[in-house]
Amino acid sequence: MRHFGKPEEVSHMSRKLSAPLLNMANAVTRIFRKNSNDIPVPHIHSREHHQISRKHISRAALDVLYGLHKAGYDAYLVGGALRDMLTGSEPKDFDVVTNATPEQARDIFRRSRIIGRRFRLVHVMFGRDMIEVSTFRAHNREDDQAGHSLNDEGLILRDNAYGTIEEDALRRDFTINALYYNIANFALYDFVGSLKDIERKQIRMIGDPEQRYREDPVRMLRAARFAAKLGFDMAAETEKPVRPLATLLYQVPSARLFDEVLKLFLTGHARASFASLQRYSLFDVLFPETGKRLHDSDQRDIWQKLIEQAAINTDARIAQQKPVTPAFLYAVLLWPSVHTRLEKNLAKGVPYAPAMAKAAGQVLNEQIKVTSIPKRFSTTMREIWDFQGRLDNRHGRRAEALMEHPRFRAAYDFLLLREHAGEIAPGLGDWWTHYQQADSVEKEQLVRSLGQQSGGAKRRRRRPPRQT
């Protein structure tokens, strides 16, 4: 899911860039021209002076590093994996950079291939592991632009220029992501004060923050995510442009934003990510309708609690290595506006099923303008929402039939969240909890008891018969 400099996204984005933004891209180039004249000198920490050990690097990554080294190339582990190792978390993946071109790197490894058309990387396969190898890259210098107007191609060409390790370091996003571990001497190379920032727990943009957010607005989400994941703060000048520039995210392809939302919410730190997004005014950009409900509805505390609890539950599931699905997450994130629209439709006298179908359709249509939602997830989301109106319908054999539905479990979890958040009175959730644990005799008793009691399990709203 790496988009850093990939041609597909860059070209997609550049098509959408407006003229002022392209001028900003030009300004970025100038800044980097200045930087690349001003070559940073690395602090080199020899193997006995840093904590990166080969023990923590995957076999596959070591094989790639050694393979390149033996073939006579420079080979470094770079970026997120080093950051994670130094902050005590398990790296998700290992990225390698080298001075070998993609063709040269591919020729070294049997199971490898070049991917990307303009921005080319090598994927090296080791069993189920994949290591991504990229060639040192530079921001373009002004002279590279000779003959290239700032058209759609401009950004792409700049992005693909090979460079030196120093240039490669300067075009990364944050200092904490710009460390290099050299397999030739096991030393750690720090070009931009990365170690100091890790120690100070600071997220600091390399270069001018505003320019670099304009160049790639996703960096704002990345900053918020790393702040959440690592428990770091943004440096003041890195934080300052985020709120004013947040709406630049609307220019990013929706599929890329969907991927970013998953990284924010489905990698074990959803609770902190939600807080971080709200703190930096990014949540309202990603989820505009929900954002509104969280600000100005009378139920805002309920919605805040609903999302927070869902985030806490998601983190707990990931910690226990249980599966999580984007559909459930998105069903929760969009529920405040589904609910609001549903109520409006019902108030107009529309029967429940079409009222829900319409609300869901409207909300999904609005949301996919910002973050895409693959069909397989939106179908499940609709089922979870739809189920909320059916869980009270438990007479006769209905409870048993509902329980057998593949979406029952998610819908039940969703109901518990709504009760917990105080959106609906408790009772129905408990009934279903008992029902699921009951043997057949107890089940019959539970269903029979429905006729006699009018208590907790009663729905707030009587729903007309379901229309199909």
Residue 93 sits in the site that holds Mg ion (CB under 5 A): yes
The CB-of-79 to ligand ATP minimum distance in angstroms stands at 3
Q: Say how many C-beta atoms besides its own lie within 10 A of residue 407's C-beta.
A: 18
**Half-sphere exposure of 11 toward its Cβ, with a 13 Å CA cutoff?**
11
Q: How many residues bind Mg ion (CB under 5 A)?
A: 2
Please give the residues from 217 up to 246 whose contact with ligand ATP meets the rule CB under 6 A.
218-219
Indicate whether 6 belongs to the interface with ligand ATP (CB under 6 A).
no
Q: CB of residue 440 vs ligand ATP: minimum separation in angstroms?
A: 48
Among residues 52 and 416, whose Cβ is nearest to ligand ATP?
A: 52
225 or 418: whose CB is closer to Mg ion?
225
2, 43, 69, 463: residue in contact with ligand ATP (rule CB under 6 A): 2
Q: Is 253 in the site for Mg ion (CB under 5 A)?
A: no
Closest by Cα among 225, 215, 207 to 282: 225
DSSP codes of every residue in 172-207: SSBGGG-EEEETTT--EEESSSHHHHHHHTEE-BSS
CB of 421 to ligand ATP, least distance (A): 30
Contact between 263 and ligand ATP per CB under 6 A: yes
The reply on whether position 80 binds ligand ATP by CB under 6 A is: yes
- Give me the torsion for CA of 159, 371, 320, 322, rounded to 10°: -110
Sequence-ordered list of residues with C-beta below 8 angstroms from that of 209, at least 6 positions apart, any chain:
237, 238, 240, 241
User: In the complex, what is the shortest distance from the CB of residue 428 to ligand ATP, in angstroms, rounded to a whole number?
Assistant: 39
Choices 63-71, 214-222, 334-342, 366-374 (CB under 6 A): range interacting with ligand ATP: 214-222
d(C-alpha 416, C-alpha 426), whole Å: 8
Q: Would you call 173 a catalytic residue per the annotation?
A: yes
Pairing of strands 202-203, 233-234: parallel
CB of 95 to ligand ATP, least distance (A): 5
Bridge partners for 219 per DSSP: none
3-state secondary structure of 123: strand
Residue 40: count of CB within 10 angstroms of its CB: 18
Instruction: Tell me which of Mg ion, ligand ATP, none is bound by residue 263, counting a contact when its beta carbon lies within the kind-specific cut-off of 5 to 8 angstroms.
Output: ligand ATP
Q: Select the span of 44-52, 88-96, 107-115, 386-394 touching ligand ATP (CB under 6 A).
A: 88-96
Q: Given the complex with Mg ion, which of 67 and 80 has the nearer CB atom?
A: 80
> DSSP labels for 129-164?
EEEEEEE-B-PPPGGGGTT--SSHHHHHHHHT-B--
Taking CB under 6 A as the binding criterion, the range among 215-223, 370-378, 428-436, 458-466 that sits at the site for ligand ATP is: 215-223
Q: Which residue has the tokens 């021209």?
A: 33
Of 228 and 334, which CB lies nearer to Mg ion in the complex structure? Answer: 228
Please say which residue, 80 or 241, places its beta carbon nearer to Mg ion: 80
Q: Which of 80, 209, 241, 291 binds Mg ion (CB under 5 A)?
A: 80
Pairing assessment for the beta strands 121-126 and 95-98 based on DSSP bridges: unpaired
Amino acid at 406: P
Look up 259 and say whether it is catalytic. no
> Looking at 6, 50, 172, 341, which residue binds ligand ATP (CB under 6 A)?
172
Contacts with 265 (C-beta within 8 Å, 6 or more apart), sequence order: 273, 274, 311, 314, 329
| Residue 177 makes contact with ligand ATP by CB under 6 A | yes
Q: Which is nearer to ligand ATP, 67 or 207 (CB)?
A: 207
209 binds Mg ion (CB under 5 A): no
What backbone phi and psi angles, to 5 degrees, belong to 188? -105, 130
Catalytic residue among 74, 93, 144, 284: 93
Copy the structure tokens of residue 384.
Answer: 């979870």
Structure tokens at 22: 């392209």
Q: Contact at 8 Å (CB) between 411 and 391?
A: yes
Catalytic, 95? Answer: yes
User: Per residue in 182-195, is it b (16+ CB within 10 Å) or e — as a string?
Assistant: bbeeebbbbbbbbb
Q: Which is nearer to Mg ion, 78 or 363 (CB)?
A: 78
Q: Which is nearer to ligand ATP, 273 or 337 (CB)?
A: 273
- Rounded least distance, CB 229 to ligand ATP, Å: 7
Residue of the chain from 208, 216, 315, 423 that contacts ligand ATP (CB under 6 A): 216
Give the helix ranges, DSSP H, for 242-351.
Answer: 242-245, 254-265, 270-279, 283-286, 288-296, 300-319, 326-347
Point out the residue whose Cβ comes nearest to ligand ATP: 80
**Which of the stretches 55-63, 212-220, 323-331, 452-460 binds ligand ATP when contact is defined by CB under 6 A?**
212-220
CB nearer to Mg ion: pick between 80 and 429: 80
Binding footprint of ligand ATP, residue count (CB under 6 A): 15
Given 84, 159, 168, 173, which residue is catalytic? Answer: 173
Q: Which residue has the tokens 């029979």?
A: 448
Residues lying near ligand ATP in the complex (CB under 6 A)? 2, 4, 79-80, 92-93, 95, 172-173, 177-178, 216, 218-219, 263
Catalytic residue annotation: 93, 95, 173
Q: Which residues bind Mg ion (CB under 5 A)?
A: 80, 93
